[in-house]
Structure 1
Amino acid sequence: MNRYTHIGVYGLITWEQKILLIHKARGAYQGQWDLPGGRLEFGEKPEAALHREIEEETGLTHLHLMIFSAESRVVEWVHQGEPEELHHIGMLYDVILTAASQPDQIKKEPDGEDSLGADWFTLEQVRNLSLTPFAAYTISQSTESTALCHRQLY
């Protein structure tokens, strides 16, 4: 069995009591809903990678990032007919919109890479979605500690 380690950055973005998620186009979590984010490029700082990934997947810019947690999961899946083990390490961030952010103008179409599109979901809607492990963990931890609300920096 092939084994790989993947290190990524992911952000929980909320607006008007909704959570922004992307629909995974490929990989071990294909078809599931995930936090915006992804792989770091060589030499890239985690925060720069998260800003880049969020803009690529959702179109959002002008964000404030705060590290929330770092988590790790091992996922078994089949890639091109071969079983694989993926050691997925995620740096999880709380993302706060700024006054310059435009959350009502997100990209809902596929990005041509990892996302089939982004959308906002209420917490009730999220409960009925198939979530990636990092998305499920981050959302559950966030909703336990604080009520989701519209947060904005001015």
Structure 2
Amino acid sequence: MNRHTHIGVYGLVAWEGQFLLIHKARGAYQGQWDLPGGRLEFGEQPETALHREIEEETGLTHLQVMIRSAESTVLEWVYQGEPEELHHIGMLYDVVLTAASQPDHIKKEPDGEDSLGGDWFTLEQVRDLSLTPFAEYMISKSTS
């Protein structure tokens, strides 16, 4: 079995009692709802990567980010027809909208990459969604 480690940055964006989640288009979490974020480019600082990923996936800019935790999970999935073990490491941030942010105007359509679009969900709605481990962790920690 192939083994792969993926390191990424992810942010919990909360606004008016709702959480911003991205519907995954591909990868080990395809079809699940995830925090906006993703892979760092070579030499990129984690916070810079998070701002870039959130803008690419949601259109949101003018954000304040604060690291909360670093977590990891291991899962098995099939990649290009071959079983793979994925060690997913995430640097997890709380994201605060500023006065210049425009949460009413997020991208809800696919980005052509990793997202089928994003949307805001209440805690009640989140309970009915299939969440990625990092999304589940961050939302549970923010409501406890």
C-alpha deviation, 1:29, in angstroms: 0.2
> Tell me, which stretches of 5 or more residues in structure 2 are unaligned?
none
Aligned sequence identity (%): 85
In the aligned structure 2, how far is the partner of 1:97 from the partner of 1:31? 27
One-letter amino acid of the counterpart of residue 87, structure 1: H
Aligned residues: 144
Task: Look up the match of 1:95.
Answer: 95
TM-score (norm 1): 0.93
Alignment of 1:5-154 (within 5 A): 5-144=5-144
Report SS of the residue matched to 2:140: helix
Task: Look up the match of 1:147.
Answer: none
Deviation readout 1:53-80 (Å, 9 max, x if unpaired) = 0000000000000001000101100112
In the aligned structure 2, how far is the partner of 1:75 from the partner of 1:56? 26
> Tell me, which stretches of 5 or more residues in structure 1 are unaligned?
145-154
In the aligned structure 1, how far is the partner of 2:72 from the partner of 2:36? 17
In the aligned structure 2, how far is the partner of 1:79 from the partner of 1:7? 17
C-alpha deviation, 1:81, in angstroms: 1.4
Deviation readout 1:23-42 (Å, 9 max, x if unpaired) = 00000000000000000000
In the aligned structure 1, how far is the partner of 2:2 from the partner of 2:111? 28
One-letter amino acid of the counterpart of residue 113, structure 2: E
Report SS of the residue matched to 1:42: coil
C-alpha deviation, 1:139, in angstroms: 0.5
TM-score (norm 2): 0.99
Report SS of the residue matched to 1:56: helix
One-letter amino acid of the counterpart of residue 122, structure 1: T
One-letter amino acid of the counterpart of residue 4, structure 2: Y
